[in-house]
Amino acid sequence: MAIEANVQTLGIMKSGAASGIAVDRFVVESSSVANTVIKTSANGKALGVLKTATPVDGQRVTIQTNGVAQIEVLAGQTIALSGDIGADADGKAKAWASGPVLGRALEAVTTAGAGHRISVLLTLGQ
């Protein structure tokens, strides 16, 4: 059962880089262009979780920075309950192996299918 709670958001402009266009419920990081965000790079430092459905270039978006967020999981991943979560190079949640910790899994995933989402308590590297 996916849940969200204690949602606080940060409004920011979206990136114009076609390869970095982010998708709703994916993890984003700051880009090199002021006031823009892109999908996280491999082990990138996450800013939060994108909460704007199907954003377009230059659109103002909402980013969840704390609380419990639903995040899309990298297909094929196995995630333990209370396991640390990181982000892959496409902005999807994965079991943490190295790099910044995004948060803690509030549910287990045995083998994630495409489009599977889980609830994550965001800690953003704390």
Strand pairing partners for 86?
Answer: 94
* Residue 18, pLDDT score: 47
- Between CA 9 and CA 12 the distance in angstroms is 10
- The CA radius of gyration of the chain, in Å to the nearest whole number, is 13
* Residue 121, pLDDT score: 95
In order along its 126 residues, the chain shows pLDDT tens digits of 566 655 655 556 555 454 456 677 888 887 777 777 777 877 778 888 888 877 777 777 788 888 999 998 988 999 999 999 998 888 889 999 888 899 999 999 988 787 889 999 999 866
* pTM for the whole structure: 0.80
- Between CA 87 and CA 100 the distance in angstroms is 8
* Residue 2, pLDDT score: 60
Identify the H or E element spanning 66.
Answer: strand 60-72
* Residue 120, pLDDT score: 95
- Between CA 35 and CA 28 the distance in angstroms is 12
Beta carbons within 8 Å of 19's beta carbon, 6+ residues apart: none
